[in-house]
Chain A
């Protein structure tokens, strides 16, 4: 149990386009989902925390208008990278926190490459 999926696993897009990444909790309800960004050989940087049905809370330095987060249901959160640029290329990982178990479960990550 406690499986989190991400889609797509890998995406390549042109500069200026928008990309949507989905994060789903497959077998539990996630009241809170987190979005992280990981640079090569670096640790995870928390970008934002999203609670179902409310606006996401962004960490300092993260542009909320560039990284749009929607958490429309207890099993789905989406991250949209708007007007993507090459510097947005990164590995994006989501995690979902189970209300009943309290711990975070991580998705497999999405590799975004912006040309």
Chain B
């Protein structure tokens, strides 16, 4: 079945540092890819998405490019802020089979940014 693998956390950075959170996937068909962010005690918010190969999703300084050749969707930000501290989930939208229309999530990466 489809699966999403994220880099192990937690990730701890100083403010203004560069962020990369790796995400790779296994899927049949052509799934859409997402990054969600979860702040403490809250639900998930969509951060960015990409629907086809070579698409770049971007929002709030975060970027991720859909790389079909490496089956990856790594999240990057050039300069993180304390307010970016949260849990980040990579996910894919199943494009076929019995899981059509369902999201498959990675395990989540905890990011902590210190002043």
Contact = CB atoms under 8 A, between A and B. Distances in A.
Nearest to A4: B43
Interface size class for chain A? 20 to 34
Contacts of B105: 43-44
B106 A43 contact: yes
Given A44-B89, A46-B103, A104-B103, A93 B108 contact: no
Contacts of A95: 44, 103
B101 A43 contact: no
A77 interface: no
Contacts, number: 41
A67 interface: no
B101 A97 contact: yes
Contacts of B110: 41
B46 A103 contact: yes
Given A42-B107, A43-B106, A46-B103, A106 B89 contact: no
Contacts of B36: 106
A49 B42 CA distance: 21
Nearest to A107: B43
B42 A43 contact: no
Interface string A75-115: 00000000000000000010101000001111111010000
Interface of B: 36, 41-46, 49, 89, 101-103, 105-108, 110
Q: Which 5 A-B pairs have the closest CB atoms?
A: A106-B44, A108-B43, A106-B43, A109-B43, A43-B107
